[in-house]
Amino acid sequence: MSKPVTIKDVQVITTQPSTQRLVIVKVITSEPGLYGLGCATFTQRFHAVVTAIEKHLKPFVLGRDVSRIEEMYRMATVHSYWRNGPVLNNAISGIDQALWDIKGKMANMPVYDLLGGKCREAAVVYVHANGDDPREVEENVRKYVEEGYQYVRIQMGGYGGKSDMKPRPEGSPPGHYYDPRAYMRNMLKMIEHVRREVGPEVELLHDIHERLQPIDAVAFAKDVEPYKLFFLEDALAPEDIQWFHHIRQQCATPMAMGELFNNPREWQPLISGRLIDFIRMHVSQMGGITPARDVALHARMYGVRTAWHGPGDTSPVGHAANLHLDLWAPNFGVQEWCRFNNLVYEIFPGLPEVRGGYMYPNDKPGLGIDIDEKLAAKYPCQDEVEQWTQTRWPDGSPARP
């Protein structure tokens, strides 16, 4: 019997070629030249993830057989006893994704073939159109449509929007203020305008980003129903998911949810209750390819489609992992795409390309992506205190970002 290939080393690579701090895990094996990459990006708390990998997971996995992905994932999730948090889930994901990358390289197969093979040749993507007023949003939608995109998420003034603010109390602290009621009024006008001007053929999406009180989210979901959104994203915060029952009872606006989820008890009832239409967890936040595969199969039984989180703080390795899941999953819906700059493509050779609104694989073994570590090192992560997550209501009260 041949000697198993084992984990020889685990390295963590951090880089910031654009605005987001990225965390990449490199698992080096006992087989010379054989390694795998995984995404462990939690951009707001990247130091904590790095420490979790280097001080806790690395000693745990050294010397283990790289072929036993399922066992590794299951044991890693309970090894700390306390579990299902964003730091540890991302740390575990980095190793989990790297092991799938390694298994594909050993089998000389892309990861989508390991999962069961393609259901489609490419994954349709959606992009983000913003603007300061409805007409500017419309113009940006039209530009994307001319480039071949069929699905466009529309926002105005960023998350929470921009509007005339109510007077603040004297001495109010600094922060990103927004008015939820003004947001509802302004976004409805914007969505109505864009739908009227671009017609019914373009699939439009919108992200509430959990910024409304539950009763207002129910009302907003009802109000946008005539405009036939492809989906309304994150209408509720994870702690308010029981309100999806009320939304379902009152309108047929398709619901997408999940980017903040890290515990199975958050997504299981929404899927089994058919309360949402798209699951869109952040794959590294939920623990990697292994749990994402399981959730996709579970969701398929209930007619729920996938729409994995794909912003700039999903690393290029994470986007590659998303694509392999997209190509395989029979219940794939749509994939979020952030349009990386050319520098990111230089640092991450093999980063999936988007053409005509579709993301295509390169058909290389494993995840099909690599990293230029010397170039990545030229763009170290910068420490900062996040500002956009310091959001407030008009009276200065802390609010959801």
Dihedral Cα 192, 196, 201, 203, nearest 10 deg: -20
Strands 151-154 and 176-177: unpaired
Catalytic residue among 151, 159, 183, 358: 159
The span from the CA of 166 to the CA of 174, in Å, is: 15
Nearest in space to 225 (alpha carbons), one of 255, 199, 202: 255
In this predicted model, what pLDDT tens digit does every residue of 32-75 receive, in sequence order? 999 999 999 999 999 999 999 999 999 999 999 999 999 999 99
Active site residue 209: yes
In this predicted model, what pLDDT tens digit does every residue of 181-207 receive, in sequence order? 999 999 999 999 999 999 999 999 999
Catalytic residue among 206, 209, 282, 319: 209
The span from the CA of 255 to the CA of 233, in Å, is: 6
Percentage of the chain lying above the pLDDT 90 cut: 90
| Helices 289-300 and 316-328, axial angle in degrees (round to 10) | 30
The span from the CA of 217 to the CA of 234, in Å, is: 10
In this predicted model, what pLDDT tens digit does every residue of 119-144 receive, in sequence order? 999 999 999 999 999 999 999 999 99
SS3 assignment, position 263: coil
Tell me whether residue 83 is exposed, middle or buried, using C-beta atoms within 10 angstroms of its C-beta: 0 to 12, 13 to 18, 19 or more: middle
pTM score, whole prediction: 0.96
In this predicted model, what pLDDT tens digit does every residue of 254-276 receive, in sequence order? 999 999 999 999 999 999 999 99
**Average pLDDT for 83-111:** 97
Structure tokens at 375: 């170039």
Query: What domains are there in the chain, each with its CATH number?
Result: 114-365 (3.20.20.120)
Confidence of residue 176 (pLDDT cuts 50, 70, 90): confident
